Structure 1
Amino acid sequence: MARIGAGLVAGLGAGVVFGTVLAAMQIPMPTGDQPSLMMAVAHALGVERLLPAWLGHLGISVVVGALFAAALGARAADPAVAVGAALALALGLWVVGALVIMPVRLGQPPFAPLRSLDGAPVAIGTLLAHLLYGATLGLLVPWLAGRGRRRAAGAPPA
């Protein structure tokens, strides 16, 4: 149970980092507008405001973090394993989320960011943002799980 709690908190932390990157990145549109990628998340979720987009994004991040920690099991204590697995997960989430689900929800074909040079900055930017999410998740899960084990054993937290 402590491992899942660590995954929840790690997912939230990684989601904040990821969302901050998405909010800072802009998408050049044919109209000349340059909305943030977080605004694209809002549109994909069917909302027009950033607050619901952030809540949806963080909700997904928390669930992914908990499932990741649960799936990793006892291996969650090993930072090298956790980071490697989280980076692999992030790559998979990028393919499914940024290259398939997001374009389809926005009325574009799957893999739209990879179909033209204009989409390359979005594809590369979202890949890097997903990998940053994975690295953060992979570092936080073992650290938080270790803190929980030390507290349960009565040792002072590190």
Structure 2
Amino acid sequence: MHAHRREEFSFLLAILSQDVLDFSQFHLPKADIENLFVDEDALRKQFGAGPKQPLAPDKFDMLIGQHNASLLVINGEHSGMSDIKLAHCLDPEPLTIRNDASYIPLNVLDNCELAVRRRIKGSETQLSYPQMDAAAFYDDINNADLHHPLYLASA
């Protein structure tokens, strides 16, 4: 600009591309990926992760976590918690106590609407009195022999 080369500078700006990918410094070498599928065990070994935590035990076990309570009582809260964390890292416990996909906890059912609870239960509650026969009721209304006009008695 100071050397009165304004035209050359304008020309250089004009030949520059708007796309950054046109410049060679942005063309990085690409490595070929040999195996697209990597299984979970290989990733656990590569990153040093612990064993997989199961979602539910194979059989119903109500005593999951019972050992943790005894560790807290014996070792105290501070050291007991560190023992529980270490034991969980080495051998993780299942997240739930039952392996039943159709089981819905009662506190979840209590929060559902009545119609949803009935549908889940599979049967609608029967009323204490029998259901009315609508066709017979309509026939009774139309039967003039059963109904007499209402006579008002004068006082």
Larger RCO, structures 1/2 (Cα 8 Å, 6+ apart): 1
Same fold (TM > 0.5): no
The structure that has the greater radius of gyration is: 2
TM range (shorter): under 0.3
Structure 2 length-normalised TM: 0.19
Structure number having the greater helix percentage: 1
Structure 1 length-normalised TM: 0.19
